[in-house]
Structure 1
Amino acid sequence: MNTTTHPKPDRSIIQPSKAFRQQIMRSVNAIVLFVIVYLLLLLGAIVCAVIFGALGVGLMALKIHWVTLALGLGLIFSGLMLVYFVIKFIFKKTGEDTDGRYEIFEADQPELFSFIRQLTTETGTDFPKHVYLSPEVNASVHYNSSFWSMFLPVRKNLTIGLGLVNSLNRSEFKSVLAHEFGHFSQRSMKFGSYVYNMNKVIYNMLYDNESYERIIDKWAGFHSFFRATAWLNVQIIKGIQFILQKVYVLLNKNHMGLSRQMEFHADAISAYVAGSNNAVTASRRIGIGSMCYNTILNYWNAEINNKKRADNFYPQHSEIIKHFSAHNQLAFDANGLPVVSHRIAALDNEQVVIEDQWASHPSSKDREAALEALNIQQPVEDDSAWTLFNHAEQLQCEFTDRMYSSINDSNQFVKVDFASFKTTYYKQVDDDNYQPEYRGYYNRRPVNTFDIDEAIQQAQNTNTGLTFTYIFTDEKSNLPKRVNSLADDIAKLDDIIEKRVEKSVKTFDFKGSKYKSIEASAVKDILVQEQQDAENQIKELDKQLFITAYTNADAGEQQKLKDDYALLFKYQEQDSNDYEVYSNTWAALSPLFNTMPYADIERAVNQLYKVEKRLKERLNEIANSNIYKAVTTPEQAEAIEKYISNKWTYFTHPNYDNEAIGALEGALVSYFDVINERTFKFKKELFELQLAALNNKKAGL
């Protein structure tokens, strides 16, 4: 543990910045605008009601007749309903949602509460009204944002995610809670209550209108005269909704801008109390912890059908963090947490950044840059954040049980302990991935084809001193990820060029520098060239790996490498044709999931009958191929056999045949999985042979 003391930082760093104050003013202006617009709409509705009422009374007084009576009553009712529409949901109460949260008390967790109390003293904030625990990687401040919370002081609550505790040391945990208590101290959080309640008003007037529409429809159904006044009511409401949609955009964009500034300010408070160093490493570890939490969550979701569950979710989460760290060549500390002295390159490849004006939080890059600029160093307590909790393992098991509480018969599931989980998980990782030495280089892509005989000729003339480590550097192994990242960046630029982004977006960032939107085409040209260069490097490296392996293999292995690469290229060509059949069939099937006129359904079904002929032919070939049978599960074989052994009719007027559509859908899914598994298994065996040759002593390793 590092116990070096540091001087107390200047308190001025936690004062609201100029940008923060400016954003507060913008939010205040937006809120004032909403209030003015709403009052004008309310006044307008009242004026309309008075005018409609006067017209209605005037019509009825003009002549006593059922026509004038109907029109008069319709106008009066329409006016009253306009006023009702504008005020109907303003004071609607909403209780606080505590789903997934569990309140804890000082008697049960005295050390944690003492830690929180000390932290509230350091940050100058009130102690939380309630302290909750939740299962995920998160911490948050929240309160019941009722109508009256806009005007009366409301004590805030704190929620601590156990996944967060699992991902941090004590110093980083202190940093995260200091950030949350920074929000406690922000009077600007009050604006969140204003915006929340104003959004409720807007949402309810835009979308939550079932009961209102039911009343209007019922009224309109009495007589055509009532229908005319109801139509008038609806047209005025559409005008009100149009205005509210515009106000919604302005109100929420400004609030999101304020929210981002509030995050920067809370980060500054966190750095002031716990140090920039701990805040930065906390941010990085939270990013890793969140990804790994989703990984373990998805793993156990997939096991629900097998009636299996985790006995304790959190040690398994820690194991996934270790696996992720090892895969990304990160060291561990004594508690098994990744050493994150730098950002992970594999997760940090984007070069083009368009500011998301609807984001409530700044990007992690921007937050880290602001924290590092403060440069406040504080001691690091390496002990796990779990040391603050009594009966940590019991808590972990209780929350694991809670995660399964909503699943039927979960009490009958088999509980899988940590050792069994590790064995099964790592076997699955090994079965589903290529050799770790390739570092994901071959993942989710075909090997580029090349002239094998020409490559062999080149191998015979090459320098046998070339090594695997020499040709397969970290930079080169990351080339496919770089190509994918460049494709994402180019897509962002296309959005700017084609004006698919909001008009308010005038600039974007590229490699840390700001560019105008009109420069997007020039930047795109740069990235397209970079992408082409990277793709050419991948083509060359695919070939070079074969050449180096061939050079260092013995005669028998050389022949097998040659034959297997030739067969791989054949398989990849087959796969390309199979993907085309798969895509064409899905394209023909997809319209059947939409509501269409009967004539369109008939056309769509006839097109599907034409397209599926090739699918059936191919599935018959696969069902009778020993190569495919070897990688087909019994469930997949059953789905394919069910489809190819019947002549299905997908639509008989007036109904679809859901069994027939389900049979086709099941066969398609199995088709896709089987063709992928065939090629994956073959590639894995080939890459194992290649790896052995690459690591041959003749390669200098």
Structure 2
Amino acid sequence: MDFVYPENPLNVPNDLTIPTKNQKRNLWLSVAGLVGFAIVYIAIATWFTWATFYLVSEGLHSRNSNLFTFISALASGMIAFFMIKALFFVKKGEISQEYEVKEESEPKLFRFLYRLADETGAPRPHRVFLSSRVNACVFYDLSILNFFFPSKKNLEIGLGLVNVLTISELKAVLAHEFGHFAQKSMAVGNWVYIAQQIAAHIIARRDALDDFLKSWSYTDPRLAWIFWILRLAIWSLRASLESIFNLVLIAQHALSREMEFQADLVAVSVTGSDALIHALHKLQAADSTWDSAQNFFYRQAQEYKATANIFNVHLRTIDHMGRILNDPGFCRVAILPDTNPSEHRVFTTDIAQPPKMWATHPYNHERENNAKRRYIPAKLDDRESWVIFDNPEELKANFMKKLLLNFPEEVSNDEGLLGKLDEEYQQEYLNSKYRGAYLGRSFTLYAEKPENFLDHKIESLSKTLGELYPPSLSEDLEKLRNLERELGLLSALKDGFLVPPDGIIRFRGNEIRKRELPKVIESIREEYEQVLGKVSEHDKLCHSAFFQAAKEIGKGWPEYLSGLLEVLHYADHSRTDVDDARGLLNNVYAVVTADRDVSSRELDRLVKAGTELFNALEIVFRNAEKIELDSVLLERLGVDSWASGLGKFGFVPPTRENMNEWLKVVDSWIDLTYNSLSQLRYTSLEELLNVEAKILNWTLDKKAKVEPAPKASVPVKDYPKLTPGKERKLQRRLGLWDRFQTADGFIPGLLRFSASSAIIGGIFYSTVHWILVL
């Protein structure tokens, strides 16, 4: 076992993982908030339960009782029922595509986990599951009983994680997860989570009882008013409890941040200060490449009934992405310096989002500073994480069979398909010589007309062609992507779509207030526009230079090049228009359903947004008949014509009557249209770059034989041009009524709490009144 288990660091301070003063303070605040919520909850449930029984029993015998006695009893009973039924829930801890392993089949793994759990002071896992994710977590079933009895913890280990980490890094990640359950404050987190589930059952869940009350509230007015009172009582209960519980969550979020830091230190105590940070660095790249590897894996299984080992596909995908990005450190960690390793930093100070598995954790650079504040050196074991399994190859084979269970036909393993993966990454637009200029980026979106990329003034053609795609372009593109990401995150924070984990916005090493965000955003936008202008100028220079070279060559190449650029421009803008229309529909849908009740006016607004999306789709299909693609593009697409490849448009516009059914099928039409336009975009981009490479070769080699160009594509001229800034306007904030309904903001939240509390108080007063009368 010692051969598998990495060495623990020496001379670890005894107080390294002792909770800080902030953590203890936040712990007591969380406990106080939770106790307060419990007292309010129990008091309301107890009072209205007792009042219901009293009013019913006494109302049947007292001469002072009347209809309003029983209406008060009914409203009181409804509140009591909603409070009590939320206590009887069981939330199953689940993972997708799980594959349970036992100690009998994987003794080495379990010895590793047991030893790590014992060293971190955590309970040993009850059950262990492997999953097809880049993830590791502890999950469990929850019920009201877990307020008093601890739940049994199950461990999930994602094999996508195992595939990229060294054994030291995996040990650090698992130690972090175990570290949570070595924390006494974790019990408070569990209690808060259980209370959150109870509150969620009351606040968010809608069931048959809600449907019953709603249907009866639209019947005969002589009877409907009673059900309106009951619905109002339930709304008030939900609104009041949500407001109270949000105060508990504020305290718990502050505690959660401190708990994450302490769990990191638990990992540091058994692996040193570097292993966890190295794992965190790899996870960003592992997430994205694992998704790509899975797409290839399943696509091959569907198309060829054979597929390559998904773990080999993942590693090969990482290699290709590192090459394309000209980043030798992609999903790899630089060797620690021999001098002052405690000063070495992997992450820079920014607002970068953590990997998926740690999306609610503090920022990466904060975690690194925390782990290295008291630097603990340790020997890093660079062996693959697969060494913790007794038979890794057999495990991989069995797990792949698990992934392919839903396929109707048997799928074989063919490692030769890795060559097909290599072919896909050999596409011209992925060539590293372009410095990533065409990777995840649509350069034509920034021009209203495709001709804008053909009319840039070229002073010296040979000199320009020799200086295209310089190394500095990589830096400009990386800076542009970072600025785009920062703008997106800051805008989302300003509009309330994102909330910082601990309520504090940290940006480029500084803490900023929310009211300062517009000024910061404007500053970043100016920086972004400056870099974008520089990159866009290079785009125009490139394609104008090749177009001018094509004019000197002749033989139909300038027309062919121009046709390809026009097709690319059309595909880019058309698919962006469809996607933007979908964004509008999603935005409107989110707004009108925010209060979980769609009014007649809101339905009309939803129909209008759906109609705009329908029109965007219809334009694409209508224009298809007017587009003539060249023979090379048709062959690459595998179709006789663009119209036949796209198919017939058999969709219908939305109406008030068909809206529910329309929403169920609209995504399939969006996906069909968007994917077809994407395929046309990538095909025309690939051919454009191939032709430009030929033109460069013919220009440099005057003796090379120039072949005549194919007949040029004839695209449509009239189509939506959605350049940046022309996107459909989205509603960033809810209307006043919806903000009141959802307590969006301090003032609306205070008003809703006051109104709902007044209604609950009125029902309380009514029950007291009739109890005294009886």
Per the TM superposition, whether the score is higher than 0.5 is yes
Output the CA distance in 2 between the equivalents of 1:676 and 1:354.
30
- TM value normalised by structure 2: 0.72
Structure 2: tracts of 5 or more residues without a match: 337-345, 590-597, 703-774
1:267 to 264, 275, 279: 264
Question: Which is worse superposed, 217-226 or 567-576?
Answer: 217-226
Greater shift in the superposed pair: 534-543 or 218-227: 218-227
Give the alignment of 1:192-271 within 5 angstroms: 192-213=189-210, 216=213, 227-271=224-268
Alignment partner of 2:143 out of 120, 141, 146: 146
CA positional deviation for 1:392: 0.9
Mapped to 2, the partners of 1:274 and 1:609 lie a distance apart of 56
Query: Match of 2:126, SS?
Result: coil
> How big is each residue's C-alpha offset from its partner over 1:646-694, in whole Å with a ceiling of 9 and x where there is no partner?
9x98699987999x99998688447624642453133221443477589
Deviations 1:588-630 (A, max 9, x none): 9998999999999999999999988965663223257646534
Pair 643,34 (structure 1): closer, same or farther in 2 beyond 3 Å: same
Q: How much has 1:35 moved relative to structure 2?
A: 0.8
The residue that corresponds to 1:61 in the other structure is 63
- Taking structure 1 as reference, are residues 497 and 131 closer, same or farther at Cα in structure 2, changes over 3 Å only? closer
SS at match of 1:643: coil
| Secondary structure in structure 1 of the residue aligned to 2:194 | helix
Q: What residue in structure 2 maps to residue 400 of structure 1?
A: 400
Are the equivalent residues in 2 in contact too, given 1:137–1:163 (CA < 8 A)?
Answer: yes
SS in 2 for 1:164: helix
SS at 1:634's partner residue?
Answer: coil
Match of 1:163 in 2: 160
The residue that corresponds to 2:121 in the other structure is: 124
C-alpha distance in structure 2 between counterparts of 1:581 and 1:84, whole Å = 53
Which segment drifts farther, 70-79 or 160-169? 70-79
In structure 1, what is the equivalent of residue 373 of structure 2? 373
1:21 deviates by: 1.7
Matched position secondary structure for 2:483: helix
State the secondary structure of the residue aligned to 1:14.
Answer: coil
Alpha-carbon deviation of 1:104? 2.9
Task: Give 1:276 deviation, angstroms.
Answer: 0.9
2:388 is matched with 388
Change (3 A) 1:667 1:298: closer
**Could you say which residue in structure 2 is the equivalent of 1:292?**
289
User: 417, 424, 427: which one pairs with 1:428?
Assistant: 424
Question: Is 2:281–2:333's contact at 8 Å kept on the other side of the alignment?
Answer: no
Larger mean CA deviation between 11-20 and 46-55 belongs to: 46-55
Give the structure 1 partner of residue 108 of structure 2. Answer: 111
Shift of 1:117: 3.4
> 1:158-557 to 2 correspondence within 5 Å?
158-213=155-210, 216=213, 227-306=224-303, 308-310=305-307, 312-329=309-326, 331=328, 338-341=332-335, 351=350, 360-405=360-405, 407-409=406-408, 412-418=409-415, 420-431=416-427, 433-443=429-439, 444-446=441-443, 455-459=457-461, 472-473=470-471, 475-495=472-492, 508-542=505-539
Structure 1 regions of 5+ residues with no counterpart? none
TM-score, with length taken from structure 1: 0.79
Shift of the 662–27 alpha-carbon distance from structure 1 to 2, 3 Å rule, reads: closer
- In structure 1, what is the Cα distance between the partners aligned to 2:87 and 2:525? 52
**Identity across the alignment (%):** 20
Comparing 47-56 with 437-446, greater Cα deviation is found at 47-56
Task: Give, in whole Å, the separation in 2 of the partners of 1:315 and 1:170.
Answer: 18
Amino acid at match of 1:430: Q
Tell me if structure 2 keeps the 8 A contact 1:636–1:670.
Answer: no
Cα 1:497–1:209 shift into 2, 3 Å:
closer
Q: Distance in 2 between matches of 1:147 and 1:476?
A: 58
Cα distance, 1:116 vs structure 2: 2.7
Distance of 1:130 and 1:16 partners within structure 2: 29
Distance (Å, rounded) in 2 between the aligned partners of 1:642 and 1:517: 49
Equivalent positions of 1:647-666 (< 5 A) are none
* 1-structure distance, mates of 2:217, 2:611: 43
Deviations 1:366-406 (A, max 9, x none): 2122223232110121211212211111111111111222x
8 Å Cα contact 1:141/1:180 also seen in 2:
yes
Q: 2: CA distance between counterparts of 1:609 and 1:112?
A: 54
Using the TM superposition, give the Cα deviation of residue 22 of structure 1 relative to its aligned residue in structure 2, in angstroms.
2.4
Partner Cα distance (1:95, 1:609) in 2: 40
* Native 8 Å contact 2:347 2:364 kept in 1: no
Query: How much has 1:268 moved relative to structure 2?
Result: 0.5
Q: Return the structure number with greater helix share.
A: 1
Deviation at 1:536, TM superposition (A): 2.9
Equivalent residue, structure 2, for 1:621: 626
Give the aligned partner of residue 17 of structure 1: 20
Distance (whole Å) between structure 2 residues aligned to residue 55 and residue 252 of structure 1: 41
1: distance between equivalents of 2:656 and 2:188? Answer: 57
1:634 equivalent to 2:630? Answer: no
- 8 Å contact kept, 1:141–1:184: no
CA contact (8 A) 1:172 1:281 kept: yes
Letter paired with 1:116: L
The one-letter code of the counterpart of 2:42 is: L
Amino acid at match of 1:100: Q
- By relative contact order (CA 8 Å, sep 6+), the higher-ranking structure is 2
- The aligned amino acid for 2:333 is V
Letter matched to residue 252 of structure 1: L
**Aligned residue identity for 2:131:** S
Please report the RMSD computed on the Cα atoms of aligned residues, expressed in angstroms. Answer: 4.9
Q: How many residues align?
A: 668
Structure 1: how far apart are the matches of 2:516 and 2:119?
48
- Contact 1:561–1:690 (Cα < 8 Å) also in 2: no
CA pair 215-654 structure 1, distance change in 2 beyond 3 A: closer
In structure 2, C-alpha distance between the alignment counterparts of 1:641 and 1:126, rounded to whole Å: 57
Change (3 A) 1:605 1:320: closer
Secondary structure, aligned partner of 1:132: strand
- Distance change (3 Å), C-alpha of 1:375 and 1:212: same
Describe the SS at the equivalent of 2:373.
helix
Aligned residue for 2:19, secondary structure, equals coil
Match of 2:729 in 1: none
Given the superposition, is the C-alpha separation of residues 396 and 567 from structure 1 closer, same or farther in structure 2, using an over 3 Å criterion? same
Asked if the contact 2:628/2:641 (under 8 Å) is kept, the reply is: no
Distance 2:213 2:219 in 1: 10
How many Å apart are 1:556 and its aligned residue? 8.2
- Cα 1:375/1:639, change in 2 over 3 Å: farther
Distance in 2 of aligned mates of 1:198 and 1:431: 53
Structure 1 residues 635 and 3 mapped into 2: Cα distance closer, same or farther (>3 Å)? same
1:518-575 Cα deviation digits (max 9, x unpaired): 433433343223222212322443466579989xxxx988934998678656654565
Change in Cα spacing, 1:579 to 1:293, as seen in structure 2 (3 Å) is closer
Query: Contact 1:435–1:688 (CA<8 Å) still a contact in 2?
Result: no
Alignment of 1:595-610 (within 5 A): none
After superposition, the Cα gap between the structure-2 partners of 1:606 and 1:115, relative to the gap in structure 1 and judged at 3 Å, is: closer
Measured after TM superposition, the shift of residue 498 of structure 1 is: 6.0
> 1:338 aligns to what SS in structure 2?
coil
